[in-house]
Amino acid sequence: MSDYSEVQKAYRLRPRPQEAPPGAVKISLQSSFTIEPLAAYIWKAAEGEGIPVEIHVGQYGQYAQEMMDPAGALYRFDPEMVFLFAKPGPGEAPAQRAASLEALIPHLRKNSRAALALANFIVPANPSELLPDPDAREFEEANKSLALLPERHPNVRVLDLEKLAACFGKRRVTDWKLHYLGEIDFSPEFQAYVAARCMTFVRLSRRPPRKCLVLDLDETLWGGVVGEAGSAGVALGPHGAGSEYLAFQRAILKLHERGVVLAINSKNNPEDAMEALEGHPHMILRPRHFASMKINWSDKVSNMREIASELNLGLDAFVFLDDSPVERGWVRRSLPEVLVPELPADPAHYAAFLEELDVFESPSVTDEDRRRGRMYAQEAMRKRLESTSASLEDYLGGLKMKLAVEPLSRKTLARACQMIMKTNQFNLTARRHSEGEMLSLMESPDCEIYTLDVADAYGESGISGLAVLKYEADACRVDTYLLSCRILGRRIEETFLHVLIKAAGKRARRMIGEYIPTKKNSQVKDYYRGSGFSPIPSEGAAERFELDLAAERSSSCEFHELALKGFEI
């Protein structure tokens, strides 16, 4: 039996509990052609990763009606994620279809919290010179306009189906038998390929993306062993042997420029390795690209732990690449939070493998993401100031910090949602609101959301703090309160809380703070107690604290220059 029939049968016969398992991702597939078989592939891929999913498939060709009907099956299902695959009908201008797809977005927004992943159009291709595709350009133009949708519509992403089809091979995208039998546009193999890409979106709704790539050196960044061959003897260069390592380094550099933090974990004499990293004429990754370098004879697990604490990142933010299956197995067993992919045995496949790895990707790349590489370098300069300052006060004064607080806006929404997903340590409640939820909170009259922007003498940290205040009768409850770990230790929480207290005082008599313990936020366990709040009864693991807003005496920290944008306190 073909793999296709196997997958479809397994999906048909899957156990269907009365209620979806807790934490299941609810996905709806909508399409202008038959999309049911793709559901089976997504389900299979999700099972393989241990992510429970519940999939709803829209009626054949009825996606527009389903998205417009507030009482229809789509909204009754209440998905968190909608995948929409629609293509221009015969004779229809692609631009026309793109416009009608955009017109559906407000309907989805009004009726659902779901994120939308909208597939763009596969550009028709024909190898014949005799039969060119007169409308290929129209499809390309329509795809360009679809690509701009996320800028206008929050919580919408584009699934680049055209790129997937091109990478996969357009001749193999459609199995004509299936197409004519059942209007199934995607061949079984392409369905599996598209499903893998859909899983990137599904995964991101459940776990934050990885932030740091940790690399071995010998046989990973270059061919050969530098301790034996010397810097000049390792394989790394533009032609022949060594060119695969050069391509791999280029692929790593691309990721770094998109904000991925780099580190080294290698068993070597540091002098030998540094000679190659600094001096080899073809080396692309130089010491300045790495936020941490552990080049020693310690075991790689200890090194990994040290890198994590040095960079102040959780182990689940790391990906480790090493050519040695022994080292990989050891790190994987000892530190299950670290992602340790099976690097291909042949370095010829390293670069392509990394480009398809797809675990660093952010749902939306913000200004803060692109700046991250530079920010880690600025942080090193701050550390130097700290070590040469006579006292903590000297250090904080020397930073010349500027804080700006501003109500959340469409412009800052993407960054706010990213912090909600990624902030673990200074995060009092760790509530992971989706972008859709944040949007409705932003528009709710009973809710105020503030973002905090931080800059100092060494550069801009960008938006680094977020608070969601909910007004309930005479109380203001702090639903969410978090600060990015890169600005901790500068008393910024004092000033931010002061602003929140003053803002709340205009509408409420008491402020209620919550602490919901997670694996990683124990450092803020006593935060409210230490800020003048008194404990009050609460249920479950959460702790609650209260502050009488009439009697409070908070002040901002003397080391911060504070600006309020668009509101007063």
Give the separation between CA 229 and CA 546, rounded to whole angstroms: 66
Q: Mind giving me the DSSP string for 368-431?
A: HHHHHHHHHHHHHHHHHHHHH-SSHHHHHHHH-EEEEEEE--HHHHHHHHHHHHH--SSBSS--
Task: Establish if 349 lies at the interface with other proteins (CB under 8 A).
Answer: no
Structure tokens at 438: 């944040």
**Is 71 among the residues that bind other proteins (CB under 8 A)?**
no
Distances (CA, A) of 424 to 109, 400, 520: 29, 27, 6
Q: Least distance from C-beta 231 to other proteins, angstroms?
A: 57
Taking CB under 8 A as the criterion, the residue among 144, 177, 374, 400 binding other proteins is 177
CB of 196 to other proteins, least distance (A): 21
Interaction of residue 2 with other proteins, rule CB under 8 A: yes
Stretch of 1-9, 326-334, 378-386, 495-503 contacting other proteins, by CB under 8 A: 1-9
1 binds other proteins (CB under 8 A): yes
| Segment contacting other proteins by CB under 8 A, of 7-15, 304-312, 433-441, 461-469 | 7-15
Which residue has tokens 């673990």?
424
Instruction: Show the site string, 297-336: x = touches other proteins by CB under 8 A, - = not.
Output: ----------------------------------------
Only one of the segments 71-79, 178-186, 202-210, 535-543 lies at the binding site for other proteins (rule: CB under 8 A); that segment is: 178-186
Nearer to other proteins, 60 or 330 (CB): 60
Q: Which of 70, 89, 182, 287 binds other proteins (CB under 8 A)?
A: 182
- Binder of other proteins out of 5, 126, 440, 523 (CB under 8 A): 5
Q: Residues 263-282, buried b or exposed e (16+ Cβ, 10 A)?
A: bbbbbbeeebbbebbeebee
Q: Between residues 187 and 484, which has the closer beta carbon with respect to other proteins?
A: 187
Q: Does 13 bind other proteins (CB under 8 A)?
A: yes
Q: Name the segment binding other proteins (CB under 8 A); options: 2-10, 71-79, 258-266, 345-353.
A: 2-10
Does residue number 15 form part of the binding site for other proteins (CB under 8 A)? no
Closest CA to 476 of 437, 449, 495: 449
List, in sequence order, every residue forming a beta bridge with 56; answer none if it has no partner: 28
Of 36, 69, 275, 355, the one binding other proteins (CB under 8 A) is 36
CB of 36 to other proteins, least distance (A): 5
Asked if residue 85 binds other proteins (CB under 8 A), the reply is no
Give me the least distance between CB of 21 and other proteins, in Å please. Answer: 23
Separation CA 36–CA 184 (nearest Å): 9
Round to whole Å and give the CA distance between 42 and 361.
19
The CB-of-9 to other proteins minimum distance in angstroms stands at 6
Q: Which stretch binds other proteins (CB under 8 A): 173-181, 220-228, 508-516, 533-541?
A: 173-181
- Only one of the segments 20-28, 29-37, 108-116, 512-520 lies at the binding site for other proteins (rule: CB under 8 A); that segment is 29-37
- Residue 181 binds other proteins (CB under 8 A): yes
The helix/strand count (H/E) of the chain reads as 22, 17
Distance CA 401, CA 424 (A): 24
For residues 37 and 58, which CB has a smaller minimum distance to other proteins in the complex?
Answer: 37
Helices 410-422, 367-388: axis angle to 10 degrees equals 60
| DSSP symbols for 71-98 | TSHHHHH--SEEEEE--PPTT--HHHHH
CB of 34 to other proteins, least distance (A): 8
Nearer to other proteins, 2 or 128 (CB): 2
* Binding-site size, other proteins (CB under 8 A): 17
**In whole angstroms, how close is the CB of 175 to other proteins at the nearest point?**
9
Assess 184 for contact with other proteins (CB under 8 A): yes
Q: Which two tokens stand for residue 523?
A: 């450092």
Q: Residue 99 or 181: which CB sits closer to other proteins? A: 181
Nearer to other proteins, 59 or 269 (CB): 59
Q: Please, which residues have CB within 8 angstroms of residue 263's CB and are 6 or more apart in sequence?
A: 212, 213, 214, 215, 290, 291, 292, 293, 294, 307, 311
CA 387 to chain CA mean position, Å:
33
Q: Are 215 and 265 in contact (CB under 8 A)?
A: yes
16 binds other proteins (CB under 8 A): no
| Crossing angle of the two packed helices 367-388 and 243-257, in degrees rounded to 10 | 90
Return all residues near 333 (Cβ < 8 A) that are at least 6 apart: none
Look up tokens 């291709």; give the residue. Answer: 125
By the rule CB under 8 A, 9 interacts with other proteins:
yes
Q: Which is nearer to other proteins, 3 or 526 (CB)?
A: 3
CB 405 within 8 A of CB 469: no
Residue 467, beta-bridge partner list: 450, 481
User: Which listed range, 129-137, 177-185, 254-262, 400-408, lies at the site for other proteins (CB under 8 A)?
Assistant: 177-185
User: Which residues make up the interface to other proteins (CB under 8 A)?
Assistant: 1-2, 4-5, 8-9, 12-13, 34, 36-37, 177-178, 180-182, 184
